[in-house]
Structure 1
């Protein structure tokens, strides 16, 4: 485990897809939620971000996706700064984002939701549909069904599938297990692992800290808008400092 407050987040060799360098960001003028956050996601990695409520986890994802004002520092995608770019430009550059709530169009069918994910490149619909249904096979059998009639777990599958339609180089997931039953939570984590194994670099924010760290290649512990600790997921899961400070109140499911 690395104390990220004193040691830069570096680690394994490999092509860097997303990097945050000393990012300060917030929603209101003069009020920062992120206060010097750092993060590296390399090609093919599954990155888990945990921390107490109000630590800035969702704000970090939204900063990457252009939804929060970045006041200091830099965010790069494949080596190029993306600070200030709007969501449509980021999607075109290979960034997919799945918000925690309101993440499907309930009045549209599953097929129409997936088509919305390809509004910038509709010609590859059949090709991308084959890919997403290789991960979410049940969706392929229910394409005419309206998304509003689906359970929370099923809606989460549609939301992740829609984000994958544009063949992103990095997928940002905000609390994919939130509000789901324990069985559906397990299924959500399995699907996240499946997406990552299919070659999609994944950055996931999760309140179920233990389950998140079990599947993450590397994890970051965010606290007061800064990365307090960074290291391999299993190392963080078993580190006494992280257990004492964070895991005692986060992710109460047994490991």
Structure 2
């Protein structure tokens, strides 16, 4: 793996770490070819790269949705390689897929209750926490999820994943299909979630915006880590700009912006 600049990794126990992961959907066909990633407490990690690089596959492999053929994934000091998804949720891994991430026939509140079906005694407490974090959902809590806009659905999917109080939240392209305004709202909300202490690992198509808000980033190419560094370092690295950011070069070289919600 090539580092954009000589960035020293954080010390301490990782929240989640994937090491030399080889995985794929079809027998004998690997999408990931020795991919590694580490996220430390309080970090927001961004994963960018060209289409077909294996970004979403990496998240799905970490969450037990794609069979890992070699390598491993650890949550803290526990090996979680190829564990069932319900077990991973119990252990503190939240996952928000890009599509089909809400129950459209249920209300907002019912969707959130489904997120805590493993711990029904804590529903009221966690609902109050989600209403504080997502006040727009509280205002519409009796509305069917199927009637929500794309941005509202994304907020609901995040909130449902947070009901179980995960130590790490895996987000698969949270801004996909949203208008620029709704994309900004999603990034602001994601950063706000991260500031509550939840480690976030995010695959994102909007590379410029992702690098602006993440603490560290990984650039994947052909199922491997091509570059890694802080968001600011990757945004200014000439090779990353040339190979992966293209015409966004002028934008990504702008000073890194810390996205925080308005008070």
> TM-score, with normalisation over the residues of structure 2?
0.92
Residue in structure 1 matched with residue 229 of structure 2 by the alignment: 231
Q: What does 1:81-230 correspond to in 2, within 5 Å?
A: 81-230=79-228
SS in 2 for 1:227: strand
Deviations 1:139-190 (A, max 9, x none): 1111100000000000000000000000000000000000000000000000
Partner of 1:17: 15
Question: Counterpart of 1:248 in 2: which secondary structure?
Answer: helix
Match of 2:57 in 1: 59
Does residue 1:38 correspond to 2:16, yes or no? no
Asked if the contact 2:241–2:249 (Cα under 8 Å) also holds between the matched residues in 1, the reply is no
Shift of 1:14: 3.3
Q: Distance in 2 between matches of 1:37 and 1:134?
A: 37
Does the 8 Å contact 2:61/2:82 carry over to 1?
Answer: no
CA distance in 2, matches of 1:231, 1:79: 24
Residues 100, 174 of structure 1: 8 Å contact kept = yes
Which is worse superposed, 242-251 or 220-229? 242-251
Aligned to 2:259: none
Counterpart-to-counterpart distance in 1, 2:191 and 2:130: 14
Cα distance change, pair 249–37 in 1 and its aligned pair in 2 (3 A)? farther
SS in 2 for 1:103: coil
Paired residues of 1:175 and 1:206 also in contact (CA < 8 A): yes
How far did 1:138 drift?
1.0
CA RMSD across the alignment: 1.9
Cα separation, 1, equivalents of 2:75 and 2:35: 16
> What is the Cα deviation at residue 15 of structure 1?
2.8
- Over 2 Å off, 4+ runs: 249-255
The answer (yes or no) to whether the contact 1:207–1:251 under 8 Å persists in 2 is: no
Q: Relative to 1, partners in 2 of residues 1:168 and 1:250: Cα closer, same or farther, differing over 3 Å? A: farther
Q: 1:79 to 1:244 in 2, by over 3 A?
A: same
Q: How far did 1:115 drift? A: 0.5
